[in-house]
Amino acid sequence: MSASPIVDADLEPAGTPIVAGLPMPTFKRIGVEPISGACGCEISGVDLRRPLDEETLAEVMKAFDQFLVIVFRDQDLTPEQHKAFSRYFGEITELPQAPTYGGHQDMQEVRREAYEPENVVPSFEHFHTDSPFLPQPPKCIVMRALEVPQWGGDTAFSNAHLVYEHLSDGMKALLDGLQVVYSGKDIWAKNEKLPPEKRLRLRESHSFTEDQLENIHPAVRVHPNTGRKALFATSAYFKRFVGWSEEESRALLAYLQGLAQHLHYHCRVKWKKDTLLVWDNRFTLHRGVHDFKYERRHLIRTTVAGERPLGPSDWRPLR
C-alpha cells in the first residue's frame, strides 16, 4: 500500500511562524526565546529585584499570555522581592494543602531531601493543575529555585489551549457544555490511610472552609483576556462530570488526560539555582520530573489568585 497522498487541505500558505498556537509577537524591551513550539519562553534583559517600568511589564505580560510559562535566569531575590514581582500578576493567596516556606504563610515550598523518596511531593507523577477544587483556583505560580539537582528534576508543562484546539468539532461541542466537580475534601483522610513512608508532605492546618474545598467548574475554560478556550478537565481532584456517572466520567477523563501527555503540547524547563519561573495554572498542566536521586531539590513559590473559571457561555470580550 502506498502512503496517503498529501491533499491540498493539509497545506497552508507560508506566513508568520506560529509558536504556542499563535504568531510570534514582537518585543522591544525584553529578549524572548521560545523553549518549544508548544509553550514556554525564556526572558532576558530583566532584573526582577527592581520594579519594572510600564513598557517592560506590558511585554512580560504579553509573553505570559501567549507562552503561559515564562522563565527568568539568575534572579537572586529576597522573599519580599519575590512577592513584589508576584503582585504584578494579582493578589497572593494561600493554599490549604501545600506546605508553607519558613515563616512566610503566603509562600509555599516544594522540597525533597536527598534521602527522601519521590512520593513526598504531591502529585509528582501526573500532569495536573494546582488546587482546581477552590472557587477561584490559582491564576499562576511564581517559583524560584534555591537548590536543585545537578541533573534531572526538571518541570514539564502541557499547553491546555492546544489540547482543546486540536479536538474535533464534535468533541469540542460535547465538552463546551460540560462541567466538572473538583474536590479537595479528602486529601488529608486519604493521606492518613497510607503507610508513613508513602505519605505526601501536606500542610497540617489551614483556614479554608469545607465548602471552599469542593466546586463545580466548566470543562472548557476561557481566557479572560484573549477569549481563547482550553481544556480544564484533568485527573487530580476530579470527581465526575456533572450529570454523568462515575464510570462514564472516568472513561472520558482517561481519554482527555491521555491527550495532555503528547509531546507536541509540552515544554520542559531545566532549573538552575536562582531560576524564577511563572506558569499559568489555568491554561497549562504541570508536573515535576522526579528522575534524580540522592540530591536535594528545594523550590519556593508564591501562588496568585485567579478568577472564577469562565466557561464558553460566560465569556464576553473586555471591550
Contacts of 3 (CB under 8 A, 6+ apart): none
Total interface residues for Fe ion by CB under 5 A: 1
When the beta carbons of 56 and 129 are compared against Fe ion, the nearer one is 129
Backbone angles phi and psi of 73, in degrees to 5: -100, 160
Nearest distance, CB of residue 121 and Fe ion, angstroms: 9
38: left (phi over 0), alpha (psi -120 to 50) or beta: alpha
Footprint on residues 238-277 left by Fe ion (CB under 5 A): none
Q: Which has the closest alpha carbon to 252: 300, 298, 220?
A: 220
- For Fe ion, the closer of residues 126 and 264 by Cβ is 126
Estimate to the nearest angstrom the gap between the alpha carbon of 132 and the chain centroid.
Answer: 11
Q: Which stretch binds Fe ion (CB under 5 A): 18-26, 127-135, 208-216, 301-309?
A: 127-135
* Closest separation in Å from C-beta 158 to Fe ion: 12
Which residue number, 162 or 299, has a Cβ lying nearer to Fe ion?
Answer: 299
The rounded distance, in Å, linking the Cα atoms of 253 and 233 is 7
Q: Is residue 305 a contact partner of residue 280, using CB atoms and an 8 Å limit?
A: no
**Cα gap 45→70, rounded to integer Å:** 13
Smallest distance from Fe ion to CB 129, Å: 8
Q: Residues 109-129, buried b or exposed e (16+ Cβ, 10 A)?
A: bbbbeeeeeebbbbbbeebbb
CB of 257 to Fe ion, least distance (A): 15
Instruction: Please work out, in degrees rounded to the nearest 5, the angle formed at the alpha carbon of residue 42 by the alpha carbons of 70 and 142.
Output: 30
CB of 11 to Fe ion, least distance (A): 40
Closer Cβ to Fe ion, 56 or 89, answer by number: 89
CB count within 10 Å of CB 9 equals 6
**Alpha-carbon distance values, 312 to 15, 219, 285 (Å):** 29, 9, 20
Per CB under 5 A, 59 contacts Fe ion? no
Beta-carbon-side half-sphere exposure of residue 40 (alpha carbons within 13 Å): 22
Amino acid symbol at 315: W
Q: Which H or E run contains 255? A: helix 246-259
Q: How far is the CB of 88 from Fe ion (least distance, A)?
A: 21
Looking at the Cβ atoms of 171 and 200, the one nearer to Fe ion is: 200
138 vs 311, beta carbon nearer Fe ion: 138
To the nearest whole angstrom, how small is the minimum distance from the Cβ of residue 39 to Fe ion?
16
Binding mask 130-169 for Fe ion (x = CB under 5 A): x---------------------------------------
Residue 64 beta carbon to Fe ion: minimum distance, rounded to whole angstroms: 18
Q: Which is nearer to Fe ion, 175 or 301 (CB)?
A: 301
Closest chain position to Fe ion (CB) = 130
Q: Which is nearer to Fe ion, 65 or 130 (CB)?
A: 130
Return residues touching Fe ion (CB under 5 A).
130
